[in-house]
Amino acid sequence: MELPQNWEVRHSRTYSKDYYFNTLTKESRWDPPPMGENERIRASHLLIKHKDSRRPSSWKEGRSFERNYFWVGNSEKGEVEDLRNEPNEPSPAISLLSPHMLTPHLFSLSLPQEKILRTKEEALEILKRHQKRIETGETTLSAAATTESDCSSARRGGDLGHFERGQMQKPFEDAAFALEVGQLSEPVFTDSGVHLILRTA
């Protein structure tokens, strides 16, 4: 099997199986790395959570924002962590900086947060109102994410940074990689909630 540049197959003694290792970034993963020029993209999002979200709380509900993230290497991780695939792989070195807007879904390390009680349908309606405002030019996804997203990335205008296939929940990944740069998605459902995604690179 041909691999992208800097990737090689190694063997895990712990798990007794082969994995893929990037000699440049030191990333490791069980699944083969993607081929082609769209290997890494950057996106922003706006997330609206609902009562059935994986973590049905928001930085907005507890009014605590400054400590709604923790560091992993050089990456901020909060809601961004929730978007990632449940790892069955060695801990990859990642840099998530894609703009995105999350509405209900962020736990705080400082103040307790109220559980989100809205339904999935109500979350979708809220997201559609934001979508309309963005599409008519009344606001931008970045501006809306800053005040309305339930993701910790709101602090960065919804920016999730760069990511590769296999690092986000599958519905989010599929939607983000299908977008052209500058294109806004339709609402996307994941375990985190409902998202609008803007591909930025």
Shared domain check, 47 and 26: no
Shared domain check, 119 and 26: no
Residue 91: what pLDDT? 41
Domain enclosing residue 85, as ranges: 40-199
Is 131 part of the annotated catalytic residue set? no
Is 50 part of the annotated catalytic residue set? no
Residue 76: what pLDDT? 42
- HSE (CB half, 13 Å, CA atoms) of 6? 9
Catalytic residue among 113, 167, 169, 185: 169
CATH of the domain at 14: 2.20.70.10
Q: Which residues contact 149 (CB under 8 A, 6 or more apart)?
A: 45, 46, 47, 48, 79, 100, 101, 102, 103, 158
Shared domain check, 67 and 4: no
Give me 201's structure tokens.
Answer: 């690179």
Tally the domains of the chain.
Answer: 2
Residue 36: what pLDDT? 57
Residue 88: what pLDDT? 43
Shared domain check, 89 and 3: no
CATH of the domain at 127: 3.10.50.40
Shared domain check, 81 and 13: no
Shared domain check, 136 and 89: yes
Mind listing the pLDDT tens digit of every residue in the chain (201 residues)?
778 777 899 999 999 999 999 887 888 999 888 765 446 899 999 999 999 999 988 877 654 433 333 333 334 444 454 565 544 444 443 334 444 444 443 433 444 556 899 999 999 999 999 999 999 999 999 999 999 999 989 999 999 999 988 899 999 999 999 999 999 999 999 999 999 999 998
For residue 148, give the H/E element and its range: helix 141-148
Answer whether 167's CB lies under 8 Å from 84's CB: yes
Residue 107: what pLDDT? 39
**Chain CA centroid to CA 145, Å:** 13
Shared domain check, 160 and 94: yes
Residue 82: what pLDDT? 54
Shared domain check, 154 and 91: yes
Is 151 part of the annotated catalytic residue set? yes
Catalytic residue among 50, 100, 105, 195: 195
Is 45 part of the annotated catalytic residue set? yes
Catalytic residue among 105, 149, 151, 167: 151
* Sign, CA torsion 180/183/184/187: negative
Is 105 part of the annotated catalytic residue set? no
Shared domain check, 95 and 163: yes
